[in-house]
Amino acid sequence: MNVPPTLRKLTADLLTTYFRFVLMAAAALVAVLGYWLLIKPQFESVRLVGILALQNENERLRDRQAYLDRLTAMVDRYRQVKAAQAIQSQRMLPLEPDQGNLFLTIQALARQVQMQLDSVSVTKGSSLVASQTAAAAGARRSPTADASAPVTTSSGTVQIQNVSFSLSGPFTYESFKQLLRAIERSVRVFDLESITFKPVTDAAGQGAEQASGTTTYSLSVKAYYLDTGAAS
């Protein structure tokens, strides 16, 4: 079949003219297909890995912050407990004789058992020694320990205050127990040395528990304070 020269020339011109566009279209199609089939899946995979890594890092930072918050809260509670313990310790063992506060403590003790405080006498004693603490605790002292050694802490030496005071009030067995219980539970440490009282009897010779008068209690106790040596 013979193709006319005119048609052959027209076909050649068309191929020459549109070949560039066809080639560009084919290249664009390949690029688009390559992006959707190769590049985009890889990009999504890398992006997903990055997102997961960021989420893990954020979670780790949140855990670390939560740990730091808990640690800070624990430190705050520890400081509060230490401050409360320091206040309680100073109430039990003051850092000075503080006779005024000692008087108020005894007065509060008398008010607690509904008795009247008649008199208070405080004299300075000696340093507390090891043999006294062992005797008070009912413990055996080591034969090698120095019984005359003063009891010391990191802050100073424990000193003794000899306290004598008298109370007056109705005498009953229950009131007597309340008095002993109040001394035992006092925040300020007291060691009861002696207690005397004069039960009242009426004219008919009734016992103390039936008497309507008052009874005087005379007590001798030891109180303590910590001598830090600041005065010297």
DSSP string across 118-134: EEEEEEEEEE-BHHHHH
Residues 38 and 56 in one domain: yes
The predicted-structure confidence for 61-90, as pLDDT tens digits, reads as follows: 888 888 788 878 877 777 776 666 666 677
Arithmetic mean of pLDDT, 167-195? 87
**Domains held by the chain: number:** 2
Mapped onto helix, strand or coil, the DSSP state of residue 1 is coil
Structure tokens at 25: 């279209």
Looking at residue 121, its pLDDT comes to 92
Do 179 and 115 meet the contact criterion of CB atoms below 8 Å apart?
Answer: yes
Tell me the C-alpha distance between 10 and 200, whole Å.
147
With a cut of 70, say whether residue 209 has pLDDT above it.
no
Residues 71 and 10 in one domain: yes
Looking at residue 133, its pLDDT comes to 53
| Number of CB atoms found within 10 A of residue 96's CB | 14
Mapped onto helix, strand or coil, the DSSP state of residue 85 is helix
Instruction: Say if 107 falls within a structural domain.
Output: yes
Helices and strands, number each (H, E), in the chain: 5, 4
Residues 83 and 134 in one domain: no
Residues 17 and 67 in one domain: yes
Domain assignment of residue 200, given as a range? 99-227
Instruction: Say if 232 falls within a structural domain.
Output: no
Q: What's the whole-number average pLDDT of the chain? A: 75
Residues 121 and 206 in one domain: yes
Which of the pair, 103 or 11, is modelled with greater confidence?
Answer: 103
With a cut of 50, say whether residue 135 has pLDDT above it.
no
Model-wide pTM > 0.85: no
Beta bridge partners of 165: 120, 219
Mind giving me the DSSP string for 13-78? HHHHHHHHHHHHHHHHHHHHHHIIIIIHHHHHHHHHHHHHHHHHHHHHHHHHHHHHHHHHHHHHHH
